[in-house]
């Protein structure tokens, strides 16, 4: 059954100043200890890819489980793993505490595995040695997503310290161990542990805030549609001097159909695709150029605001093209050519409809009657948060109170595939994708780091969110 708060509960939807001050003071005094704990986690190189030592992942899961055991908040803290196609996944930490007296249940998600370090020569300090520099902590996982783990820990401990251990709010913790390796057993884990994970609100602390001072709620993720296809014009290759000019080689229709996918301004020209409108945020042409390495001579593409184009509109890329290489080229009319297309789709778009629209476009626009044949396709659903619910409202109020600035809505141009699993298994839960990272965190890259002010603010915000949830009363 879905939790809905009584109208009287709405007085608690904004944390009062007393509570804000208490939470801030508590997190402030506890912050050095939490940074030390974050450092201990960063020292464990738990990487869920086959080429890396699986013992480190177990050590990582054990260290995280011990933190939540010591918090004294949970009825049960376990290390568990699920299997997919008979192959066991990485160890996850699952902790839970039942809700009492009609209070809601909140699930807090983060992941303890990290990306490999990459080129170690590019790190200014060793990847797995937490290092403080310029108001930030550097190290692999310091942001993505061990900062998420520590934020959850700080928030539940603050709740216990401020209102005592006998509180009524239900809380589950799920710290996944293979997010960076594609969350292979995520769905099985949800299905097998549905009872302990079921919640009214789910916080996925694996995204970013706009800056250390400006909080953000990630309200949308684009989905993805990928397909490869072949264009054929002849049974076999022929001499270009003998037949060129009278019959098309496969590259002519291939190039024309690929060129038809964008209009002259660079907008995706496939008909029937949805778009979603975002508020513009302070992100300039110069920011975009610097972040993307766009050459100074080259212009941006597409109509509309920058946020719309990055998060709310489709984007289409030809990611592969099979044709003779320049080195092996000869004066030949080629009978066939293959291409692979990856298309990001707007929040709210059905991926199968988008795939059909793309196929229809390719079929209609391939010239000269060239034969087009589709190969394998893949789809990933977009995500659009339900921001009108009580949990989103509470989260925004808590973020504003903690950071001292209102929360902005942001999107992500890419996808977090497991969000679709959460929405399918727990259709009634409100999913809140929150941030610990900031724009300079460089997750996945060398010199990953977390800004200390942003991290502290994220801890206060989550503590305030839990404190407020605990004050809600069921209708």
Which of 200/206 has CB closer to Zn ion? Answer: 206
The answer to whether the beta carbons of residues 179 and 103 sit under 8 Å apart is no
> Strands 83-84 and 105-111: what pairing?
unpaired
Which of 144/228 has CB closer to Zn ion? Answer: 144
Region label for 225, one of left (φ > 0), alpha (ψ between -120 and 50) or beta (otherwise): beta
Q: At closest approach, how far in Å is the CB of 272 from Zn ion? A: 33
Q: At closest approach, how far in Å is the CB of 145 from Zn ion? A: 4
Q: At closest approach, how far in Å is the CB of 206 from Zn ion? A: 4
Helix (H, G, I), strand (E, B) or coil at 324: coil
Which of 60/267 has CB closer to Zn ion? Answer: 60
Binding residues for Zn ion, per CB under 5 A?
A: 144-145, 206
- Give the DSSP letter of residue 308: I
> Looking up tokens 């602390």, which residue turns up?
205
Q: At closest approach, how far in Å is the CB of 11 from Zn ion? A: 36
Which of 145/228 has CB closer to Zn ion? Answer: 145
Q: At closest approach, how far in Å is the CB of 111 from Zn ion? A: 6
Widest Cα–Cα separation across the chain? 88
Which of 145/178 has CB closer to Zn ion? Answer: 145
Q: At closest approach, how far in Å is the CB of 127 from Zn ion? A: 16
Which of 300/445 has CB closer to Zn ion? Answer: 445
Say what angle helices 17-42 and 54-71 make with each other, to 10 degrees.
150
* Pair of tokens at residue 71: 């918090």
Q: At closest approach, how far in Å is the CB of 443 from Zn ion? A: 6
With a CB cutoff of 8 Å and minimum separation 6, the contacts of 134 are none
Which of 205/257 has CB closer to Zn ion? Answer: 205
* Pair of tokens at residue 247: 């019959």
Q: At closest approach, how far in Å is the CB of 82 from Zn ion? A: 19
- Report the 10 Å Cβ neighbour count for 260: 16
Distance CA 368, CA 388 (A): 51
Q: Is 439 exposed, middle or buried (0-12, 13-18, 19+ CB in 10 A)?
A: middle
Distance CA 197, CA 93 (A): 12
Q: At closest approach, how far in Å is the CB of 189 from Zn ion? A: 16
The answer to whether the beta carbons of residues 170 and 95 sit under 8 Å apart is no
* Pair of tokens at residue 435: 């941030």
Radius of gyration of the chain measured on its C-alpha atoms: 25
Q: At closest approach, how far in Å is the CB of 244 from Zn ion? A: 52
> Strands 216-221 and 408-412: what pairing?
parallel
Region label for 284, one of left (φ > 0), alpha (ψ between -120 and 50) or beta (otherwise): beta
Helix (H, G, I), strand (E, B) or coil at 245: coil
Which of 181/429 has CB closer to Zn ion? Answer: 181
Which of 140/196 has CB closer to Zn ion? Answer: 140
Which of 142/399 has CB closer to Zn ion? Answer: 142
- Report the 10 Å Cβ neighbour count for 45: 19
């Amino acid at each position: 059954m879905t939790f809905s708060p009584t109208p009287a509960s709405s007085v608690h939807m904004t944390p009062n100043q007393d509570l804000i001050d208490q939470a801030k003071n508590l997190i402030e005094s506890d912050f050095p200890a939490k940074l030390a704990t974050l450092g201990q986690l960063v020292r464990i190189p738990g990487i869920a890819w086959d080429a890396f030592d699986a013992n480190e992942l177990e050590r990582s899961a054990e260290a995280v489980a011990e933190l939540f055991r010591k918090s004294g908040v949970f009825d049960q803290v376990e290390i568990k793993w699920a299997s997919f196609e008979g192959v066991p996944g990485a160890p996850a930490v699952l902790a839970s505490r039942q809700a009492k007296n009609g209070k809601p249940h909140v699930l807090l998600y983060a992941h303890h595995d990290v990306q490999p370090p990459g080129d170690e020569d590019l790190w200014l300090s060793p990847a797995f040695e937490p290092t403080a520099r310029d108001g930030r902590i550097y190290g692999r996982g310091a942001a993505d997503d061990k900062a998420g783990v520590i934020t959850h820990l700080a928030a539940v401990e603050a709740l216990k310290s401020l209102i005592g251990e006998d509180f009524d709010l239900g809380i589950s913790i799920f710290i996944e161990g293979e997010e960076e390796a594609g969350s292979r057993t995520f769905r099985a884990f949800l299905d097998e542990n549905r009872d302990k994970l079921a919640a009214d609100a789910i916080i996925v602390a694996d995204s970013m805030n706009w800056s250390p001072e400006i909080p953000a709620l990630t309200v949308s993720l684009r989905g993805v549609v990928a397909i490869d296809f072949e264009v054929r014009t002849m049974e076999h290759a022929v001499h270009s001097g003998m037949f060129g000019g009278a019959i098309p080689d496969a590259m002519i229709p291939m190039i024309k159909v690929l060129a038809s996918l964008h209009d002259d301004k660079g907008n995706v020209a496939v008909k029937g695709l949805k778009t979603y409108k975002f508020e513009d945020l302070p992100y300039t042409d110069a920011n975009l150029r610097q972040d993307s390495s766009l050459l100074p001579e080259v212009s941006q593409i597409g109509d509309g605001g920058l946020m719309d184009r990055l998060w709310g509109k489709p984007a289409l890329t030809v990611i592969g093209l099979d044709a003779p290489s320049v080195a092996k080229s000869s004066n030949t009319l080629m009978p066939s050519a293959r291409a692979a297309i990856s298309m990001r789709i707007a929040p709210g778009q059905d991926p199968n409809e988008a795939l059909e629209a793309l196929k229809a476009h390719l079929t209609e626009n391939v010239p000269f009657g060239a034969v087009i044949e589709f190969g394998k396709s893949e789809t990933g659903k977009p995500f659009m948060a339900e921001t009108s619910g009580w949990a989103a409202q509470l989260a925004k109020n808590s973020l504003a109170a903690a950071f001292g600035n209102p929360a902005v809505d942001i999107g992500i141009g890419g996808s977090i595939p497991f969000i679709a699993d959460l929405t399918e298994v727990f259709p009634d839960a409100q999913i809140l994708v929150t941030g610990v990272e900031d724009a300079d965190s460089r997750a996945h890259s060398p010199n990953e780091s977390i800004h200390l002010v942003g991290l502290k603010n994220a801890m206060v915000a989550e503590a305030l969110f839990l404190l407020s949830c605990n004050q809600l009363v069921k209708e």
